[in-house]
Amino acid sequence: MNPVYEKLMRCYRSVREKIDFRPQVALVLGSGLGGFGEEIRVVQTLEYSEIEGFPVSTVPGHAGRFLFGYVGGVPVAAMQGRVHYYEGYSMDMVVLPVRLMKMMGAEILFLTNAAGGVNYDFCPGDLMLIKDQIASFVPSPLIGMNIEELGPRFCDMSEVYEKSLQRILRETSKDLHIPLQEGVYLQFSGPAYETPAEVRMARVLGADAVGMSTACEAVAANHMGMKICGISCITNKACGMSDQPLSHEEVQETADRIGAPFQKLVKESIIRMGKVLNGETADE
Ligand code: HPA
């Protein structure tokens, strides 16, 4: 068996020994959604360290656990903490958790992150609906022998972020009066922030926000046929666009400040997505 698939199956069996929960929505909680656990009626938590062979984050202050439970009536698996490529994990390990949540039953993947604003119209504290992405600066998680059990060798990427989910996010933000920018997310490897020249390059290439996660997870989820949506919390103007040097503290401070509306938007959107998944119309 393909060693990457073998590792994934080992994790899956390890999880299934502990829990038989079937999520419909998989949620990756980035900076700004640290408190989202309060919105979930949690039925079980699972520390990453309890899962055999599962990658554990090395970033200080990043929790590492799954929350399984309900948002409204929608069964969700939420990741509190993700691992990043810059931590030294191979790409197949970085995307393993997303693949695992799909194997558990999740049809929708809701990605969130903190990002630097490259678009001149964006301010720290803005939320951005991810419409598309540029993943060309990090290795693809699909490199290597294709795992046929997961998806095809050459997968289409014409609509990574599903239009119908984008519509739900847009409408929910309008109904809740939470402003939502829109744009293209570009993933760099990190861990250093970009130089001003790299930020200019990102802008020329069509990016509106830059970060160090998410796009690779979306590639793996798209390969498996998941419906994907994403929101970036713009925590800072990207390097070179303001007088101040960037710091992790600034990123965290902004993310914490925007936590409450971000949480509200994600919660209500998931409830509406659940209605669509379960065959009700979104406005019922
Ligand atoms: N660059 C990369 N990643 C980030 C940034 C940034 O400016 N802000 C938050 N995450």
pLDDT of the residue at 34: 85
Span from the CA of 132 to the centroid of ligand 1 (angstroms): 17
Contact 128, 181 (CB under 8 A): yes
pLDDT of the residue at 283: 54
Structure tokens, 166: 């984008």
Nearest to 161 by CA among 91, 104, 98, 111: 111
Pocket test of ligand 1: the residue of 133, 185, 210, 254 to mutate, having most ligand atoms within 8 Å of its CB, is 210
Contact 114, 259 (CB under 8 A): no
| Distant-in-sequence, close-in-space partners of 3: CB < 8 Å, separation ≥ 6 | none
Residues 108-146 have pLDDT tens digits of 999 999 999 999 999 999 999 999 999 999 999 999 999
Inform me whether the pLDDT recorded for 12 exceeds 80.
yes
Inform me whether the pLDDT recorded for 62 exceeds 80.
no
Span from the CA of 243 to the centroid of ligand 1 (angstroms): 16
CA distance 223 to 233: 25
pLDDT of the residue at 245: 86
User: Is the pTM for the entire model greater than 0.75?
Assistant: yes
In the chain, % of residues over pLDDT 90 = 83
Question: Coil, strand or helix: which one is 216?
Answer: helix
Residue 31 banded pLDDT, cuts 50, 70, 90: confident
The burial of 170, by beta-carbon neighbours within 10 Å (0-12 exposed, 13-18 middle, 19 or more buried), is given as: middle
Residue 247 banded pLDDT, cuts 50, 70, 90: confident
Atom of ligand 1 at shortest distance to CA of 211?
Answer: 3
Span from the CA of 281 to the centroid of ligand 1 (angstroms): 37
Q: Is the dihedral of CA 104, 107, 110, 111 positive or negative?
A: positive
Average pLDDT over residues 249-270: 92
CA distance 68 to 26: 10
Q: Residue 89 is which amino acid? A: Y
Span from the CA of 195 to the centroid of ligand 1 (angstroms): 11
Nearest to 111 by CA among 4, 226, 205, 208: 226
pLDDT of the residue at 278: 83
Residues 173-225 have pLDDT tens digits of 999 999 999 999 999 999 999 999 999 999 999 999 999 999 999 999 999 99
For the annotated catalytic residues, the residue numbers are: 31, 62, 84, 86-87, 114, 212-213, 236, 248
Ligand 1, atom 5, residue with closest C-alpha: 116
Measured from CB, residues less than 6 Å from any atom of ligand 1 are 114-116, 193-194, 210-212, 235-236, 238, 246, 251
Ligand 1, atom 10, residue with closest C-alpha: 115
